[in-house]
Amino acid sequence: MSITVFLLALAAHLGADFLLQSEALLRARSMGGIVPYLLHGGILALSLVVLLHIFGVWNAVVFAVVSATLHAGVDWTKDRLRRRLGPSAGPGLFLADQGLHLFCLFFLAGRLDFQPVTRLGTFYRSLWVPPAMETTFIKAAGLGPALTDKFLLVLVFYLAVIFGGSVFVRELLEAVRVTPQETDTEGVTRRKTGLYIGLLERSLVLTLILADAASAVGLVVAAKSVARFKELNEKGFAEYYLVGTLASITLAVAGGVVAKICLAYL
């Protein structure tokens, strides 16, 4: 199996699931009907073709169609189970859903014979690295496919931890039902603020772990706590803050540790 193909497919999946899937599309999925799943599957298929066409357009199309079909089926099943079981099952269903998507991509990447199209590879490489630089730096340093795979691996972990982490934390907060006392307007503002703080928090913590600066993670938590100090007097917000922060930090730390282990084997 080509690890490059798997990582590219995984990047396409994470982008389609967490960056290109709008709130409107998620609401449409919650109302039932097949159209939202077809639209989401189409976005995933297009993302896969864009990232994998260097291995042959036909191979990319076959991979994209099969992957998008399986993806839509898994999503449909998860949404039906969530409506039946309620918010308390959200975190578990989210992890199971992502695990099945990961397995499907891994299985397909190992079954299809992907060989890069030389002309396309040469063309893209010339755009990315000038020929003179490739001769004097890339070859001299012994950098090649392994460098590309490591870059893709780090990209995948950043996408999963930063953006996938947002969905998981939201599912967890809904499952444990911790909600601060607030008006509707305050709630919307607070959730948006918390979303962006969480994105920055996880990106910073993940970077610190990858940079072997884990001791600085405590400073991130401390700075966040100081900024929210007065609001922590409210019991509802304190519970909301603790659950969200601990889940977010745990995801980022775990993601960084697993990423470092994977990087050591590439």
Count: domains in the chain: 2
pLDDT of residue 121: 61
Tell me which residue range forms the domain holding 78: 1-112
Give yes or no for residue 125 having a pLDDT over 70. Answer: no
Residue 264 in any domain: the answer is: yes
**156 and 101 assigned to the same domain:** no
Q: Are 251 and 172 in contact (CB under 8 A)?
A: no
**176 and 261 assigned to the same domain:** yes
Tens digits of residue pLDDT in 167-218: 999 999 888 876 665 555 555 666 777 788 889 999 999 999 999 998 888 8
Report the distance separating Cα 189 and Cα 83, nearest Å. 27
Residue 123 in any domain: the answer is: no
Residue 151 in any domain: the answer is: yes
Nearest to 172 by CA among 200, 197, 198: 198
What is the pLDDT confidence band of residue 4, given thresholds at 50, 70 and 90?
confident
Nearest to 64 by CA among 51, 78, 79: 51
Q: Model pTM? A: 0.85
**93 and 154 assigned to the same domain:** no
**259 and 159 assigned to the same domain:** yes
**197 and 108 assigned to the same domain:** no
